[in-house]
Amino acid sequence: MTDTHRAKTAAVVVTYNRKELLDACLESLLNQTAPLDAIYIIDNYSTDGTYDALLGKEWIAPAAGAAGEPSESIKAVRSPTRPESAVEIRYVRMPENTGGAGGFHEGVRRGCAAGFDWLWLMDDDLRATPEAFEALLNKREALVAARGPNFLLNSLVLAQEPSDGDTLAFPLQEIGPTGYPRIGVYYHRLSEVADKVQDGLYRWACPFNGTLIPTAAIAEIGLPNKDFFIWGDERDFLWRAAQVLDLYTVVDSRTSHPKFPGVAFNWKLYYHIRNALVINERLNFTVLRDLKLILAGLALGLRHGTRGLGLVGRAIKDGLTHNLGPRRDLLK
């Protein structure tokens, strides 16, 4: 590992058809008090004008690539708050929508190949406060000096609404004595874990939402599994990482994100159930976790008749048999 004061860090932002959210995310990254070395934008073949919007703001250079392959460009962009610093924006346009899982797979793969020491992973709807990255760096340097880079750090992910500084966008869980998440334990407010924060750290992480990870560990952890397509790829990566690294949230590194609305009945439910069944195999009490998931899924599907039960049944079958990959024929 390179000395932390010279370590190179790239953010990886995955986007698809959300150019306004991406704009706000990039603004927040370019305005960090501690500048990033690079920002990867992995564009999952957006059709809403994302590419033209980025060109219009002069954040990216024209992208080029062979047919059927990702097109890409690299451009140095000055930070509005630190004009003496240039951030290298590496834009990658995928030839098709590979889902969040495929996007993070591509971004992490490229970041490792390019020689970056750390990657800061996030979706396009995350917004970082100006000091978010600097807070991560300060904690990273202290931990590396004390024991080496055997950890993963996450920013604290607060809800954008209500923006009270206490409501979390995603609930924090708790790791039990055996190293697995406690079943049924979820904290929805920062104040609920205040007594469990030690030296500014809480032992948990919200993967792919401001997640800072050393690339040296990727060889052992593996890349994000692109076959999940959406939902669950972040949890799968988290629990593979937990076998190698300690997991922490840095409470002084603040970001915001729309509050997770919960699981609804739509085509995404298929991926939620299918992928969770695969992930449960990594955890303790697998049968109990599977049973709870299957019963909840069937109850939700039953409310939508034969069509709903068919979707849930297909998800259960594919999850138990590891039949992964995108499904282009799902109910929209």
Q: Quick check: 332 pLDDT over 60?
A: no
CA dihedral for 119, 153, 209, 159, sign (positive or negative): negative
- What is the 3-class SS of the chain, one letter each residue? CCCHHHCCEEEEEEECCCHHHHHHHHHHHHCCCCCCCEEEEEECCCCCCHHHHHHHCCCCCCCECCCCCCEEEEEEEECCCCCCCEEEEEEEECCCCCHHHHHHHHHHHHHHHCCCCEEEEEECCCEECCCHHHHHHHHHHHHHHHHCCCEEEEEEEEECCCCCCCEEEEEECCECCCCCECCCCCEEEHHHHHHHCECCEECCCCCCEEEEEEHHHHHHHCCCCHHHCCCCHHHHHHHHHCCCCEEEEEEEEEEEECCCCCCCCCCHHHHHHHHHHHHHCCCCCHHHHHHHHHHHHHHHHHCCHHHHHHHHHHHHHHHHCCCCCCCCCCCC
- pLDDT band (50, 70, 90) for residue 42: very high
pLDDT of residue 122: 98
Q: Which two tokens stand for residue 185?
A: 């334990």
Q: Quick check: 266 pLDDT over 90?
A: no
pLDDT of residue 84: 79
pLDDT of residue 82: 73
pLDDT of residue 80: 76
- pLDDT band (50, 70, 90) for residue 116: very high
Q: Are 254 and 126 in contact (CB under 8 A)?
A: no
pLDDT of residue 1: 43
Q: Are 174 and 185 in contact (CB under 8 A)?
A: yes
- pLDDT band (50, 70, 90) for residue 177: confident
Among 36, 35, 40, 44, which Cα is nearest to 15's?
A: 44
- pLDDT band (50, 70, 90) for residue 269: very high
pLDDT of residue 9: 98
Among 173, 193, 191, 192, which Cα is nearest to 183's?
A: 173
% of the chain beyond a pLDDT of 70: 98
Q: What is the pLDDT of residues 234-265, one digit of tens each?
A: 999 999 999 999 999 999 999 999 998 777 78
Q: Quick check: 328 pLDDT over 80?
A: yes
pLDDT of residue 263: 76
pLDDT of residue 297: 94
Q: Quick check: 53 pLDDT over 90?
A: yes
Q: Which two tokens stand for residue 109?
A: 């793969």
Q: What is the pLDDT of residues 83-100, one digit of tens each?
A: 777 899 999 999 999 999
Instruction: Give the residue-averaged pLDDT of 312-324.
Output: 97
Strands 86-93 and 71-78: antiparallel
Residue with tokens 């919007």: 53
Mean pLDDT rounded to a whole number for the chain: 93
Among 91, 94, 169, which Cα is nearest to 125's?
A: 169
- pLDDT band (50, 70, 90) for residue 4: very low
